[in-house]
A = this chain, B = another copy of it.
Amino acid sequence: VTSGTGGRRVDAFSDGVFAIAMTLLVVELPFEHVAPGRLGHALVDHWAGFAAYAVSFLTIGIAWMHHHAVFSQIRNIDRPLAVLNLLLLMSIAFLPFTTDLLGDYIDEPDDAVVATVVFAGSWTFATIWMTAIWTYACRHELLDPDVSERGAERLQRYLRATVVAYAVFTLVALVSPIACLALFSVAAVFFLWRSDHRALEREVVE
């Protein structure tokens, strides 16, 4: 795994996994054939599945933007970095499963906590791998030469903040699954609305 073509192949491969994971979410949407005349009610009753779909889709989309921001500032991809990326992709590819679990069990009082902890925990792992990638790239001088030290530190603080946030959301899930899901939604909306985070922009050395 080298720079140039090599790096672009890692990008293309990662894009594939992100795109497929996002699109597979809908396949996992559980929806049985309903009795005649009940479709409208069934769709409304199924709100949890659709909410989980939307939250997961947007959150994976945001993770893809983070991935993009991270890798567009990395010039050389060595093998350990490719391994870290593989572990990140494993977390991402697992999300259709945890999203399905969440939609299935969020309105069942006895199992909602387990399903939500699994969902939020998977996200926490994914953000840990993303942060590890950036930390490794910074320490081993794999960044593009025109990335400033200040820009690199700002992105690192930003990524660490996402790890802390998602870990807190996981703890909240132990108390209230609905509150955890609401926090993920708020985080997604906040990110999408405040989508000009300076941390995600490349800062050129003067």
Write the residues of chain A forming the contact surface with B, with a CB cutoff of 8 angstroms. Answer: 1-2, 5-6, 8-9, 11-13, 15-29, 31, 33-34, 36-40, 43, 53-54, 57-58, 61, 64-65, 68-69, 72, 78-80, 82-83, 86, 89-90, 93-94, 96-97, 101, 104-105, 108-111, 114-115, 118, 192, 195-197, 200-202
By Cβ-Cβ distance, the 3 closest A-B pairs, closest first, are: A16-B19, A37-B110, A39-B111
Query: Are B61 and A90 interface neighbours, CB within 8 A?
Result: yes
How far does the Cβ of A19 sit from chain B's closest Cβ, in whole Å? 3
Known interface pairs A19-B13, A20-B16, A39-B105; A5-B72 also in contact (CB < 8 Å) = yes
Known interface pairs A13-B19, A40-B114, A93-B23; A1-B54 also in contact (CB < 8 Å) = no
* CB-defined contacts of A118 to chain B, threshold 8 Å: 43
Number of copies: 4
* CB-defined contacts of A68 to chain B, threshold 8 Å: 1, 6, 9
A197 to B80 Cα, complex, angstroms: 11
A114 to B36 Cα, complex, angstroms: 12
Q: 28 A-B Cβ contacts within 8 A?
A: A1-B68, A2-B72, A5-B72, A9-B68, A11-B12, A13-B15, A16-B16, A16-B18, A17-B19, A17-B22, A17-B23, A20-B23, A24-B24, A24-B27, A26-B93, A36-B111, A37-B111, A39-B101, A39-B105, A40-B114, A43-B114, A43-B118, A53-B94, A57-B93, A58-B86, A58-B90, A61-B89, A65-B79
